[in-house]
Amino acid sequence: MAKIKTIPQIEFRLLAESHAKFDSLCQVKGKKRSELAREAVGWYLDNQDKLGADSRESILEKRMRKMEERLASLMARTAIDVGTMLSLMYRTIDQNMTDKERDETFVWAYNTAVARLKKKLEGQAADVQEVIKG
């Protein structure tokens, strides 16, 4: 005699509003309650990993947006500070130097700043390479 396979049964209750919506959906789709409930639970189980990942991505997006806003604010404050310093320098230079001296001073200042930044970045790159090797 062949063994009859039993399928576990799940019972639960719905709020009246959800029950009415569920019944309406069953009618629209032309399915029995049990069929639609199986589909819904199956979909939920199949998509559980995606739902969790979406939630984590949403949190990550919020954090990244906040970091972007902080960086934009920092850049704006830095630009204001640099603009203030340049205005003071221009005023002082215009009063005390010839056009040629002013141009030479700005070229010197630019080249010095670029060289300092390159040196700093090379040092940081070496630090990063040490960490990677370690």
- Residue 78 to residue 57: CA distance in whole angstroms: 31
Could you read off the pLDDT of 23-62 as tens digits, one per residue?
Answer: 999 999 999 999 999 999 888 888 887 777 777 778 888 8
Q: What is the pLDDT of residues 18-28, one digit of tens each?
A: 999 999 999 99
The pLDDT value recorded for residue 132 is 63
Q: What is the pLDDT of residue 7?
A: 81
Query: How many whole angstroms separate alpha carbon 134 and alpha carbon 130?
Result: 6
Q: Which pLDDT value is given to residue 95? A: 80
Q: What tokens appear for 9 in the block?
A: 């049964």
Question: How would residue 2 be classed by pLDDT, with cut points 50, 70 and 90?
Answer: low
SS3 string, 64-112, reads: HHHHHHHHHHHHHHHHHHHHHHHHHHHHHHHHHCCHHHHHHHHHHHHHH
State the pLDDT at residue 72. 92
Residue 82 has pLDDT above 70, yes or no: yes
Q: What percent of the chain has pLDDT over 90?
A: 28
> Can you give the pLDDT at residue 128?
65
At residue 33, the pLDDT reads 92
